[in-house]
Structure 1
Amino acid sequence: MARYTGAVCKLCRREGMKLFLKGERCYKDKCGFEKKPYPPGQHGQGRKKISDFGTQLREKQKVKRLYGVLEKQFRRYFDKATRMDGITGENLLQLLERRLDNIVYRAGFAGSRKEARQMVKHSHFLIDGKKVDIPSFLVKPGMVIEVREKSQNVSRFKDCLDTAEGRGVSDWLALEKSNFKAVVNRLPERDDIGYDIQEHLIVELYSK
């Protein structure tokens, strides 16, 4: 399946929660989910029973869309999570949180994960002094993510950092705003995710 290119506000409405796909707009009254907090379509406001499978599927779709990954890649993350020590669902969310594009968003260098992916692909970031342009790169504790010196004059980075102060930076990251740097203090824990996600439903879906 190709990447979704339609109206992203419909995705938030379909999943029943804000996925923060449009950056600053999601925090304003213009947010599509705030105006119409029900599923899109002609029967969006109608009552409809959902099967156990449907509930599990919706949870998987919600997490995929939240982090901006496609089905094959998401399945690879799940398979990797099953081979790790600990709880599979929490391992899955930790892997998704460790993606470079998510780190760029969480640190406040971008207004959305989609924008963060674009910034990474355009080689605006260094990890431990080396250029990395792969959004799916998994960071480790101690790594330093910074905006390239040539890119620090781009006004968009400053605007994003100023806006990000309102939503805060995750505790597992240390942001040096003046130096355009973020340090990974530790691996993210379940409480650091901050979204209404029932990861056990995804595990149940893939375990059938």
Structure 2
Amino acid sequence: MARYRDALCKLCRRDGEKLFLKGGRCTTDKCAIDKRKYPPGQHGQRRGKLSDYAVQLKEKQKVKRIYGLLEKQFSKYFKEAEKKKGITGELLLQFLERRLDNIVYRIGFTSNRNQARQLVLHGHFRVNGKKVNIPSYNVKVGDVIAVHEASKKLNVFGENLQRQQHEGVLSWLEVDFAGYKGKVLHVPSRDDIPLTAKEQLIVEFYSR
């Protein structure tokens, strides 16, 4: 599958804000956007006012990058959200939040979504006791996500869970730090999703 392989920090600079694609590094003085608060490229410091279309496109691209998706995947989620009753933008974010790689990240097993995707692909997690190695797997309410018993010895899980325990857990998740597992309590509302995004702009982009 095609995947973005250039420097992740360029994506943050392009959007003009931290997307936290590198986890903890984004909160240190090594963060590229703190050093260069302008888009990458030869004309990065000379870009003018954006059109309405450009603003909508930029917001869509930002959310797509945060969750690490390609255009085909992202538009598929939007079409599914559009078919359901409710607020399309909020439903879109709910679909994205319930991806297995995102849940793994939100629980605190990993420091960022890229790491989560890689560890899911390598088969380090179990959903309700069964091996699932598909990052896009749709986690349902009541599902229990756990680190495979043989994988618990890896330092990455202990270190990340210790950090997450200090930072706290989202209200729609329950985490057993000692047991290396978490549970989805309910579908997150918009207020439950810590994401600085204007999803209505995404709806407007696809509704053109």
Residue 27 of structure 1 and its aligned partner are, at CA, apart by 1.7
Deviations 1:87-141 (A, max 9, x none): 0011000100000000000111001100000010111001111111000011111
Matches within 5 A, 1:186-201: 186-201=186-201
Q: Is the 8 A contact 2:144 2:184 kept in 1?
A: yes
1:18 is displaced (CA, Å) by: 1.1
User: Contact 2:169/2:175 (CA < 8 Å) preserved in 1?
Assistant: yes
User: What TM-score, normalized by structure 1, do the two folds share?
Assistant: 0.96
Q: Quick one: distance in 1 between partners of 2:60 and 2:166?
A: 29
- 1:177 maps onto 2:184 in alignment: no
Which runs of structure 2 are paired with 1:59-208 in the superposition (5 Å)? 59-208=59-208
- 161-170 vs 30-39, greater mean Cα deviation: 161-170
Deviations 1:26-55 (A, max 9, x none): 121111122222211222222511111100
Q: Structure 1: which 5+ runs fail to align?
A: none
Letter of the structure 1 residue corresponding to residue 131 of structure 2: K
8 Å CA contact 1:24–1:163 kept in 2: the answer is no
SS of 1:179's partner is coil
Q: Deviating runs (4+, > 6 A) in structure 1?
A: none
Matched to 1:37, the amino acid is K
Q: Give the % identical residues.
A: 57
Task: State the TM-score, normalized to the length of structure 2.
Answer: 0.96
Asked if structure 2 preserves the Cα contact closer than 8 Å seen for 1:101 and 1:116, the reply is yes
1:166 Cα offset (Å): 4.5
Q: Give unmatched runs, 5+ long, in structure 2.
A: none
The aligned length equals 208
Root-mean-square deviation over aligned CA pairs:
1.3
